[in-house]
Chains A and B, each alone.
Chain A
Amino acid sequence: MKRVVELFAPVMLIAVLLGAWEFACRALAVPSYFLAPPSAIGASLVADSPGLLKAAWYTVSNALLALMIASLLAQALALTVTLSPILERAVQPLTVVLQVTPVIAIAPLVNIWAGTDHPGRAIVALATIVAFFPIYSGAVTGLRAVDPDLMRLFDLYGATRLQRLTRLRAPSAVPFVLEGHKVAAGLAIVGAVVAEFVAGSGKVQGLAWRILDAGYRLQTARMFAALFVLGAMGAVLYALLQAAERTGLRWWRGR
């Protein structure tokens, strides 16, 4: 019984909030361009569903492509940097500056470089930049997080640098890298949406453009519908990566 209550508690809360929202819109006669009632949003969601799904795919496919590129680049750089402490010192300030600069501030510049004819490239590039750091810092931390006694054991048996890397550091880093990917997936979506906003033209058919377009026309119901899809997409992606992390860890630990 307790489990059922726990399971339904969030659903109930959402139902109550939606009910109150609908009631308030009707009772107070709120103009629909200011705040659309849930019923109108639902109707818009159904009516727009083919276009919304297409836009969602555009956004998520760019984010996933960016995630893959970021994953390769971040792990390659982390490995390189681990082999050379001097290189790590050299790279560190650059990575910090790039990390703390808000992605929205870099977006216009990247847009120019990608060329106005190729907004897709700018979107992937910006999403890659934000997805890069969690994976990179996870990998660097993981490659260093080696049990010191295991390290001594490798010393004792005269392990080579390559053996230390492939048989000790890299496997030790796996849990950290998995965690990094989970965080990076959410950020890749953020990066893709931000880039779409900045690109802001009809050429870019993602969810962010849908929100902008509906906003220009004061179609609040359509804005909410696109927001809903965006939120659902992020949640699904997070759940998928969490499942992947759990499976990966089970394989790593053997249970």
Chain B
Amino acid sequence: MSQGANIAALEDVGVDYPRGPALGPFSLGIGAGEIVALVGPSGCGKSTALRLLAGLEAPTRGKVVRAAGRGETAVVFQTPTLAPWLSARGNAALPLELAGRPRAAATERADAALARVGLAGAEAARPAQLSGGMAMRVSLARALVTEPKLLLLDEPFAALDEITRRGLADDVLRLWADIRPAIVFVTHNVEEAVYMASRVVVMSRGPGRTAGEIAVEGPLPRPPGFRTSELFRATVETVSHALAGGMAA
């Protein structure tokens, strides 16, 4: 289903935690520039799969293939995860500064990344002065500042209200159209998965396996009114059905 060469892949991976198996066997290939949503019941190992792709965790069994190198993979967590002692600019510049880029260049690119997520003018603000949605945008700017090839989002909007999350979903798609990173995101919101992804991977109750894969037709970013289209509703129905099947398994 993925176009061209994979930039990251999980090949028959399994992860065991002390309390038991958490994931697998599970396989997933991510093509360059595609958007994949991982949906599944809580505890099915979605976030574990994401951490494997990020290289933040090693699998107990199987193989993780990562074509994207260090600095080419970015993660956005469920909470903004900003350093409270740094400004929005300082937070967005952090990946570049850790890579040893000169401060001036890092600041310039951080400001550009903040402008891209609609935060021009808020560069000097501290996280405590930002709303939840704005803090999430800073987190997104920090992820984009290295222009990653692979962007991993771990339930990025779960803590936000419905209006804010819909706005951010459109923002992420718009940014994707600019930079074309491959995006893998974890969610348990079926509508969000269908709206944002070109492919939805449904996982079964833990230890997670693939319970279904559904391609989502239609252009990305989504045109206005996509949420009310027949295609959208039919796809949501299909994914929900696969999810229900996965829960029963």
Contacts and interface: CB of A to CB of B under 8 A. Distances in A.
Contacts of A254: 84-85, 87, 125-129
Interface in B112-144: 125-129
A156 B84 contact: no
Interface residues of A, number: 20
B26 interface: no
A149 B126 contact: no
B85 A171 contact: yes
B95 interface: yes
A18 interface: no
A149 B79 contact: yes
A252 B86 CA distance: 8
B126 A156 contact: no
Interface residues of B, number: 27
Nearest to A150: B81
B77 interface: yes
Interface in A191-218: none
Contacts of A167: 94, 97-98
Interface stretch (A121-129, A157-165, A182-190): A157-165
26 contacts: A149-B79, A150-B81, A152-B54, A152-B56, A152-B77, A153-B75, A153-B77, A153-B94, A154-B98, A155-B56, A156-B54, A156-B56, A156-B75, A157-B99, A159-B98, A163-B98, A167-B94, A168-B83, A171-B85, A171-B86, A253-B85, A253-B126, A254-B87, A254-B126, A254-B127, A255-B128
Interface of B: 51, 54-56, 70-71, 73-75, 77, 79, 81, 83-87, 94-95, 97-99, 125-129
